Amino acid sequence: MSSRVLKFLVIFIAVGVVAFARFGRFEPVENVAASTAEDPVKARAAFNEAVKVFFSARCSNCHPGGDAPTQGDERRIHDQDVKRGPDGKGVAGMECATCHQAENMDGEGLPPGAPNWHMPPAGNKMVFQGMTAAALCQQLKDPARNGGRKTLKESIHHIETDPLVGWAWNPGNGRSAPPLSQADFLKKLNEWIDAGAACPE
Amino acid sequence: MTKISVNKKVFETDSDPSTPMLWVLRDEFGLTGTKFGCGIAQCGSCTIHVDGEARRSCVTPISAVVGKEVTTIEGLSPDSSHPLQKAWIAEDAPQCGYCQSGQIMAAAAMLKKTPKPTDADIDQAMNGIICRCGTYNRVRAAIKLAAMNGGK
């Protein structure tokens, strides 16, 4: 190999290394920066999509403002004058689990079921019904009112993994599912958080 | 073969695990004190206890009671001496009587957790148990009498 060819090779490799260092290293950093940048417009838009799920019958029926859950797509007051009770599991003698099993019973008019069927406890009602999107957004961010979840990711984890929440997307017996799929709902919530979790005005 | 403990006695059934307890209790185990009212958990006539808590047996599958203790009206007391049973007689609570085993079992579950119930506690616990004769006032009086007599 001649010394001219060798010199050319050395220069070629050096240029390649510099180019890789410049683009190979910086490009991912720019990507990470883009995904965590605060973007209130994007955050609000994502939340306004996600909030449709919170306000759907499947989710809001068990998150009323008072102590009576509602039922059905028409959100009528729960039959039997059912009440929340102190721990959200009903009152002594008429608990949620008196009728709601760990899974749906198959047949018209039968109570729906999922593990640990319950409402939020009396001390932390986590109200969805009658809230504006802005008020619900602020509530989700407030550990005193969101079930003691210190980070938004903790709330997302609950939505992702609790089988009772997951039931909403497979409610059976003709009940409507929320307007977004569970995956799209989680995607919108993560978008909202990653863009800074700004709340609608 | 599924083994189920009812009134502290072990019973066996070959029924599908999704079969509601009410069917097994009445048709297989011969415990007919628990009544079929509506079959869709709307009326409460079929109320039993599972580990001491009120459950509507028409919507409680066998699979949900395996390893637990089931109590029916026949097992509430050995000789009908439970304070609620005595109060039921003293207050002449039933009219046709069809709902009374469900009423008594729901009331017994309530008194275990709320031994000194207010009228509101009683109404709240018993609202979901339908009496077609409308004996609600006598039912409430009987529950108060049982509570006074230390009934759980």
CB burial of residue B143 (10 Å; 0-12, 13-18, 19+): buried
Last-in-domain residue among B45, B75, B105: B75
Same structural domain, B7 and B60: yes
Question: B21 at the A interface (CB within 8 A)?
Answer: no
| B111 has pLDDT over 50 | yes
Q: Which pLDDT score, from 0 to 100, does residue A127 have?
A: 97
B6 DSSP 8-state letter: E
| B46 has pLDDT over 60 | yes
Return the number of other C-beta atoms located less than 10 Å from residue A123's C-beta. Answer: 9
Same structural domain, B120 and B66: no
Categorize the per-residue pLDDT at B31 as very low, low, confident or very high, splitting at 50, 70 and 90.
very high
Q: What's the CATH code of the domain at B62?
A: 3.10.20.30
Same structural domain, B33 and B51: yes
Arithmetic mean of pLDDT over chain A: 87
Provide the CA A127 distance to its chain's centre, in angstroms.
Answer: 15
Same structural domain, B97 and B40: no
Last-in-domain residue among B27, B48, B75: B75
pTM of the entire predicted model: 0.86
Q: What's the CATH code of the domain at B109?
A: 1.10.150.120
Least-confidence region, from A158-162, A196-200, B7-11: A158-162
Same structural domain, B48 and B99: no
Question: B113 at the A interface (CB within 8 A)?
Answer: yes
pLDDT tens-place string over residues A7-36 = 655 555 554 444 444 444 433 333 444 456
Least-confidence region, from A4-8, A61-65, A160-164, B17-21: A4-8
Q: Which pLDDT score, from 0 to 100, does residue A3 have?
A: 59
CB contact under 8 A, B40 and A93: no
- Domain enclosing residue B112, as ranges: 83-148
> From CA A162, how far away is CA A152, in angstroms rounded?
15
pLDDT tens-place string over residues A81-110 = 999 999 999 999 999 999 999 999 888 889
ipTM entry: 0.94
Categorize the per-residue pLDDT at B76 as very low, low, confident or very high, splitting at 50, 70 and 90.
very high
Nearest CA in chain A to B41: A99
Question: A27 at the B interface (CB within 8 A)?
Answer: no
Q: How many domains does chain B contain in total?
A: 2
